Chains A and B, each alone.
Chain A
């Protein structure tokens, strides 16, 4: 079983590490490997452009999945879609459902009540993961580009918190069904995207700890923009000495960065049990294809279980 053999992958990481790009590349790599794949992001309640849509060249990403290319669909997770689906599934009788869906009061309540936004997102995600088509699962794999760190933990920690508040009832049933998938290491995994630098590595380690506290199985770390090292050990030592006596030359920043990246990587692999996969620096204008290739190589290597 390799690292894409799951039903749900949550891709998390701090802003600026290339998380969305990696999530899209991962989804595309899975689709090309023959998996029916859905890639999604949580819709910004304030609106605004879709980061995933921009990378995939899709203008209007909405709550309904749309086909991007063979085996790959994209959509937004909408709290509202989740709320609606939830109300339809629990309320008895069409009249009450209609009244509830039409009621501004109910809508405002669901928008305003604390943690209900996350719950709606959770329901929408689950409905897509469980969706069936022609008698079989619609998607083999759902890749979710998670929001920034704090919100990631708010979402993965949500089932536990809400189950404490409401241990029984339809919400509890929904949350338990979700947990059974997400928290099962054979079905769900969270990957942390980070950069081979000091601070991002520290934050990745903290995020993995945080995810473990919310019972989310750790897939591993995707170490993005890992510079390749063109120097042999003797060359490195010679250049190091030469730079000590020279000021203001081009290339020094990159040279030091390679060293720092190796150190950061060593610290990361020492600190985490989960696998660490390197991703190369790719074309800044069109980063996805290079990442898809790198991920395909990791898959071929049997990379990371």
Chain B
């Protein structure tokens, strides 16, 4: 029905409603997310890809502006150029400040209160730095899209590494900051004697350390912001349950670099073992495994009258080739290892593309590799269309 093939990635794209891409920074997660979205859209699904602060180039490639307030559909000519005919593809590049302003607007007790919070100097200057806020709002937005059933599939590109951790932990992590009880400490008012003493101590320390005005700004900030908490906290259980649903899958993106692999392992433990979420598999990006079966350049096979520069050039190319063949072996072993670790899931190999995979043609090429019946380099390898 979906028009997607029999490969494991194709099945994931046909069956899941949400795919969350996790991995270390610099492994090409955003590119993989965009390629996955494109593959599903080409097969007729209505897809949204959500990324947080992607590179300017990707926004240009997709033909959307950076940081729009709501998801934008890709322009029709881009879609046509990428072979999307029946499905749809929208992209949303989240601007953290914008998202947090929206949360304030949506959940403040009154428009007047929203205004006061937005005008608070603490809020104006430092909201973007609030740990976990951004990730939390991304989760919340995602939840909304799924509930409203606007899209068949949402691909979420998480921020790199440490932040992605926060993303997975969003409800808990944010709660440390957004804990009502902590907030109340800084807001003058009633309470037990002990609490009043605690508040007094905090005030005294803050007045000396930061000055009275700053302390007042902070108190106002905490007071107003606290009104958002009840709403955010209320949703926590729902969010946790939401991420455990079987139609929400996690995908670990990695490169062959050791640090990236370690990070992927970390995410695997976290998502599958600790949080009991559904791990679909690994994508080994920028891999040479697809070159299994290539030939070595051999200057001795050149005709006797070949130009000397070619003969010496080919022997240098062969030097590079020997290193490369070694890497191919390593990457194949790596892919097999990941396949083993994936359990029921998959390990899919993506080739290294020349220019850093930045134009639409590159995304289409990667999309094709992703939804093929078997990953490149797997044996016995049926001929892949390039």
Contacts and interface: CB of A to CB of B under 8 A. Distances in A.
Contacts of A255: 317, 320
Nearest to A118: B129
Interface in A250-265: 250-256, 260
Give chain B's interface residue range (CB within 8 Å of chain A): 35 or more
A89 to B, nearest CB: 9
Contacts of A90: 208-209
Given A249-B317, A254-B321, 19 more contacts: A16-B25, A46-B165, A91-B209, A103-B198, A108-B185, A109-B186, A111-B176, A112-B176, A165-B125, A165-B217, A169-B214, A199-B55, A202-B55, A206-B56, A232-B312, A242-B313, A246-B297, A250-B324, A251-B324
A112 B182 contact: yes
Contacts of B310: 235, 238-239, 241-242
Contacts of A270: none
Interface of B: 24-27, 53, 55-57, 121-122, 125-131, 160-163, 165, 176-177, 179, 182, 185-186, 198-199, 201-202, 204-206, 208-211, 213-214, 217-218, 255, 257-260, 288, 291, 293-297, 307, 309-310, 312-314, 316-325, 328, 352, 354-356, 358
Contact of A250 (B125, B213, B259, B295): B295
Interface stretch (A30-38, A92-100, A138-146, A291-299): A92-100
Interface residues of A, number: 71
Given A87-B209, A154-B129, A166-B214, A251 B198 contact: no
B309 A234 contact: yes
What are the nearest 6 A-B pairs in CB distance? A16-B26, A15-B25, A251-B321, A250-B321, A235-B313, A238-B310
A90 B205 CA distance: 9
Nearest to A281: B323
A3 interface: no
Nearest to A233: B309
A285 to B, nearest CB: 8
Contacts of B206: 109
A241 B297 CA distance: 14
A186 interface: no
Contacts, number: 197
A260 B255 CA distance: 19
B129 to A, nearest CB: 5
25 contacts: A14-B26, A16-B260, A17-B26, A103-B205, A105-B198, A105-B202, A148-B163, A165-B126, A171-B209, A171-B211, A197-B356, A199-B57, A202-B55, A238-B310, A246-B297, A248-B291, A248-B293, A249-B295, A250-B295, A251-B296, A251-B319, A253-B288, A254-B320, A254-B321, A255-B320
Contacts of B121: 164-165
A36 B110 CA distance: 58
B300 to A, nearest CB: 14
B211 A166 contact: yes
Contacts of A284: 258
Nearest to A235: B313
Interface in A161-189: 161, 164-166, 168-171
Contacts of B161: 15, 148
